[in-house]
C-alpha cells in the first residue's frame, strides 16, 4: 500500500487537493439574496510581537500606569494616535481592535510553533503531534466553499516547516484534522497556477487541467472497483482513497460551474511577483493578491497567511534591500546593515499593516448585499509564538479588523484583558471559542488548557459576544 499512498499524496498536491477531508461535504452555492458568508483571514508572523509596540503613543499617565501593571482596561481609539507602524490602518480605525492579554502557554512557543497558535496545543514538525483541526479549518466548516480553505506562506529555510525551499507547495501551519497537516503555497506564481488553472487562458494549462480530470475519473473508478474486492482494513483504506478522489472531482465540478465569476478575478500579478527570485516584501504582496482574488471570486471563505516565519530569510526591507536578514539575529538584538534590531522589526510590521490596508480597501470596494464584502470579513494579525523572540506564551497580542456585520462586540478599541494568573484571565482557547460560538459552533471550549492556571478556563469571552 505504500506505493499507492505515495501516489495519492503527490497527486493530491499536483491537482490542488489541499483540503480533502472537508471537500466530501456537500457545498451549497450562495443564491441571489442569500445571506453572504463571513470570511476569515488569519495573518500570523514569527519572531514575536512585543506588547509594548501595540500601545497608542497618545495614551495618558493613567492608561500607561495600567499598562505597566498589566491591569485590565479599555480605551476608545477615537481621538488617539495609532502606533506609527499601524499608520496604514488609520483610515479603518472604526473597524480596528487592538487586543492584549491573551495567553497561550499550552502552545509550543519560542523559535517555531508549527500548528500551535491556530490549534491551541503543543505541536512539533511531526504530524502525529497534531491533535485536532486548527481554528481556521473549523470556521471553514461553518462557511463552506469550493476550495474550503487556502493557505499561503513565506516559508522558513533554516528550521520549522517545511523543508524544500521557498517556492514549494509544502507542509503548512494549519491542520485539517488530527495528524493531518495542511499544505501551503510558498510562491504566488504557483498559487495562481494551481488555484486558477481551471479558467486559465493558456492552452497548455487547459490541456493539463483536462488531463488531470481524466486521470481523476480513471483512478476514482479503479479504486472504487478495487475496494469491492478487498476486506477489512485494506478495503477501508482503498475506499477512503476513492472517496477523496471523488471529493476532488466534486470540487472541480463546483469550480467549473462558477467559472465566469472566477475568471473575472484571476489575479494579474506584476512581473516582479512572477520572478524566479522574489524578495520577501514582493512575495508577501503577491500572496495578498492571491488571497484577495480567492475571496472575491468565492473560491474560499477562509485564508491562512504566514506572512513570515522566524527562519525565513527576509529580503527587500527598506534601507537594507540588499541584505538577507536573519530574523533570529534580529530577535537577539543584532543590528542589520546599520539598522537597529527594533527598527528592522518595525519596518517588517509596517509592511504587514500596508498589506492589511490593501486587503481592507479592496474588500470595501466590492459591493455585497446592502454594503461591501468587508462588512462580512474578520481579519486577525498575531504572532505565531507569543510576545517575544523567546516567548513563554504569557501574551499573544492581536490586531483585529472586523466588518460592520461581525458577530463580535469589537471595534475602535484598545482592550487589555486581565493578565496571566489574574482573576478573569483569558487564553487563546477562550478567544477562539468566542469566535466559533459567535458564528454557529456551540463548542464548549476549543483547544488545550493551561495546566499551570487554576480555576475553570473553559468557555467563550462573554464580553465579546453580541
Identify the residue with better confidence: 272 or 103: 103
Cα 182–Cα 114–Cα 449 angle in degrees, nearest 5: 105
For residue 275, how many other CB atoms are within 10 A of its CB? Answer: 14
For 194, residues 6+ apart whose C-beta sits below 8 A from its C-beta are: 16, 169, 185
pLDDT tens per residue across span 343-375 = 999 999 999 999 999 999 999 999 999 999 999
What is the per-residue pLDDT for 264?
A: 76
pLDDT band at 1 (very low <50, low <70, confident <90, very high): very low
What is the per-residue pLDDT for 272?
A: 85
For 13, residues 6+ apart whose C-beta sits below 8 A from its C-beta are: 169, 183
86-95, 184-193, 252-261: segment of lowest average pLDDT: 252-261
Closest CA to 199 of 297, 304, 283: 297
pLDDT band at 240 (very low <50, low <70, confident <90, very high): very low
Identify the residue with better confidence: 10 or 110: 110
pLDDT tens per residue across span 422-448 = 999 999 999 999 999 999 999 999 999
pLDDT band at 267 (very low <50, low <70, confident <90, very high): confident
Identify the residue with better confidence: 226 or 421: 421
What is the per-residue pLDDT for 201?
A: 54
pLDDT tens per residue across span 371-426 = 999 999 999 999 999 999 999 999 999 999 999 999 999 989 999 999 999 999 99
Identify the residue with better confidence: 105 or 247: 105
Residue with cell 466548516: 141
Instruction: Pull the grid cell for residue 335.
Output: 543590528
pLDDT band at 265 (very low <50, low <70, confident <90, very high): confident
Evaluate if residue 211 carries a pLDDT over 80: no
What is the per-residue pLDDT for 33?
A: 62
Sign (positive/negative) of CA torsion 11, 17, 22, 28? negative
- Going by DSSP bridges, is the β-strand pair 169-177/96-100 parallel, antiparallel, or unpaired? unpaired
What is the per-residue pLDDT for 271?
A: 85
The whole-number average pLDDT for the span 68-74 is: 97
The whole-number average pLDDT for the span 293-306 is: 95
Evaluate if residue 118 carries a pLDDT over 70: yes
**Average pLDDT of the chain, as a whole number:** 85
Instruction: Pull the grid cell for residue 260.
Output: 465566469
Evaluate if residue 261 carries a pLDDT over 80: no
What is the per-residue pLDDT for 441?
A: 98
What is the per-residue pLDDT for 163?
A: 74
φ, ψ for residue 113, nearest 5 deg: -120, -10
What is the per-residue pLDDT for 355?
A: 98
Residue 92 Cα to chain centre, angstroms: 21
pLDDT band at 276 (very low <50, low <70, confident <90, very high): confident
What is the per-residue pLDDT for 3?
A: 45
What is the per-residue pLDDT for 204?
A: 57
376 within 8 A of 39, measured Cβ to Cβ: yes
Identify the residue with better confidence: 147 or 464: 464
pLDDT band at 205 (very low <50, low <70, confident <90, very high): low
CA–CA separation, 113 and 53 (whole Å): 22
Write out the chain in H/E/C secondary structure: CHHHHHHHHHHHHHCCCCCHHHHCCCCCCCCCCCCCCCEEEEEEECCCCCHHHHCCCCCCHHHHHHHHHCCCEEEECCCCCCCHHHHHHHHHHHHEEEEECCECCCCCCCCCCCCHHHHCCCCCCCHHHCCCCCHHHHHHHHCCCCCCCEEEECCCCCCCCCCCCCCCEEEEEEEEECCEEEEEECCHHHHHHHHCHHHCCCHHHHHHHHHHHHHHHHHHHHHHHHHHCCCHHHHHHHHHHHHHHHHHHHHHHHHHHCHHHHHHCCCCCCHHHHCCCCCHHHHHHHHHHHHHHHHHHCCCCEEEEECCCCCCEECCCCCCCCCCEEHHHHHCCCCECCECHHHHHHHHHHHHHHHHHHHHHHHHCCEECCEEHHHHEEEEEEECCCCCCCCCCCCCCEEEEECCCCCECCCCEEEECCCCCCCCCCEHHHHHHHHHHHCCCCCCCCCCCCCCCCCCCCCCCHHHEC
Evaluate if residue 229 carries a pLDDT over 70: no
What is the per-residue pLDDT for 320?
A: 96
pLDDT band at 257 (very low <50, low <70, confident <90, very high): low
Identify the residue with better confidence: 309 or 16: 309
309 within 8 A of 269, measured Cβ to Cβ: no
What is the per-residue pLDDT for 196?
A: 83
Evaluate if residue 340 carries a pLDDT over 70: yes
The whole-number average pLDDT for the span 145-156 is: 93
Share of the chain above pLDDT 90, in %: 69
Evaluate if residue 259 carries a pLDDT over 80: no
387 within 8 A of 397, measured Cβ to Cβ: yes
Task: Output the pTM of the full model.
Answer: 0.86
Amino acid at each position: 500500500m505504500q506505493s499507492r499512498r505515495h501516489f495519492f499524496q503527490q497527486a493530491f498536491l499536483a491537482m490542488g487537493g489541499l483540503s480533502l477531508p472537508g471537500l466530501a461535504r456537500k457545498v451549497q452555492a450562495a443564491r441571489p439574496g442569500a445571506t453572504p458568508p463571513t470570511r476569515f483571514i488569519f495573518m500570523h508572523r514569527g519572531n514575536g510581537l512585543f506588547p509594548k509596540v501595540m500601545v497608542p503613543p497618545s495614551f495618558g499617565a493613567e492608561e500607561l500606569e495600567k499598562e505597566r501593571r498589566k491591569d485590565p482596561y479599555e480605551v476608545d481609539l477615537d481621538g488617539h494616535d495609532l502606533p506609527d507602524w499601524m499608520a496604514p490602518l488609520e483610515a479603518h480605525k472604526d473597524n480596528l481592535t487592538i487586543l492584549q492579554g491573551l495567553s497561550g502557554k499550552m502552545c509550543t512557543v519560542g523559535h517555531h510553533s508549527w500548528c500551535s497558535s491556530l490549534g491551541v496545543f503543543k505541536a512539533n514538525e511531526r504530524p502525529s503531534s497534531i491533535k485536532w483541526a486548527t481554528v481556521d479549518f473549523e470556521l471553514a466548516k461553518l462557511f463552506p466553499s469550493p476550495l474550503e480553505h487556502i493557505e499561503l506562506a513565506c516559508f522558513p529555510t533554516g528550521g520549522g516547516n517545511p523543508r524544500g525551499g521557498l517556492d514549494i507547495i509544502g507542509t503548512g501551519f494549519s491542520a485539517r484534522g488530527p495528524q493531518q497537516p495542511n499544505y501551503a503555497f510558498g510562491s504566488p506564481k504557483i498559487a495562481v497556477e494551481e488555484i486558477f488553472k481551471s479558467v486559465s487562458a493558456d492552452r497548455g494549462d487547459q490541456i493539463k487541467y483536462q488531463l488531470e480530470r481524466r486521470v481523476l475519473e480513471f483512478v476514482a473508478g479503479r479504486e472504487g472497483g478495487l475496494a469491492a474486492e478487498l476486506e477489512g482494513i485494506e478495503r477501508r483504506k482503498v475506499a477512503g482513497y476513492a472517496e477523496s478522489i471523488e471529493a476532488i472531482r466534486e470540487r472541480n465540478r463546483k469550480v467549473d460551474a462558477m467559472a465566469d465569476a472566477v475568471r473575472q478575478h484571476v489575479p494579474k500579478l506584476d512581473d516582479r511577483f512572477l520572478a524566479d527570485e522574489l524578495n520577501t516584501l514582493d512575495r508577501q504582496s503577491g500572496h495578498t493578491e492571491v488571497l484577495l482574488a480567492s475571496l472575491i471570486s468565492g473560491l474560499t471563505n477562509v485564508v491562512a497567511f504566514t506572512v513570515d516565519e522566524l527562519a525565513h530569510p527576509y529580503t527587500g526591507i527598506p534601507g537594507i534591500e540588499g541584505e538577507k536578514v536573519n530574523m533570529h539575529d534580529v530577535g537577539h538584538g543584532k543590528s542589520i546593515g546599520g539598522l537597529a534590531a527594533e527598527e528592522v522589526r518595525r519596518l517588517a510590521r509596517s509592511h504587514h499593516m500596508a498589506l492589511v490596508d490593501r486587503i481592507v480597501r479592496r474588500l470595501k470596494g466590492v459591493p455585497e448585499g446592502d454594503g461591501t464584502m468587508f462588512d462580512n470579513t474578520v481579519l486577525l494579525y498575531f504572532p505565531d509564538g507569543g510576545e517575544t523572540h523567546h516567548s513563554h506564551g504569557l501574551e499573544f497580542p492581536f490586531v483585529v479588523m472586523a466588518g460592520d456585520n461581525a458577530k463580535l462586540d469589537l471595534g475602535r478599541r484598545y482592550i487589555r484583558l486581565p493578565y496571566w494568573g489574574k482573576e478573569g484571565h483569558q487564553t487563546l482557547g477562550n478567544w477562539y471559542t468566542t469566535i466559533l460560538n459567535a458564528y454557529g459552533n456551540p463548542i464548549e471550549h476549543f483547544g488545550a488548557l493551561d495546566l499551570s492556571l487554576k480555576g475553570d478556563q473553559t468557555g467563550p469571552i462573554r464580553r465579546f459576544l453580541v
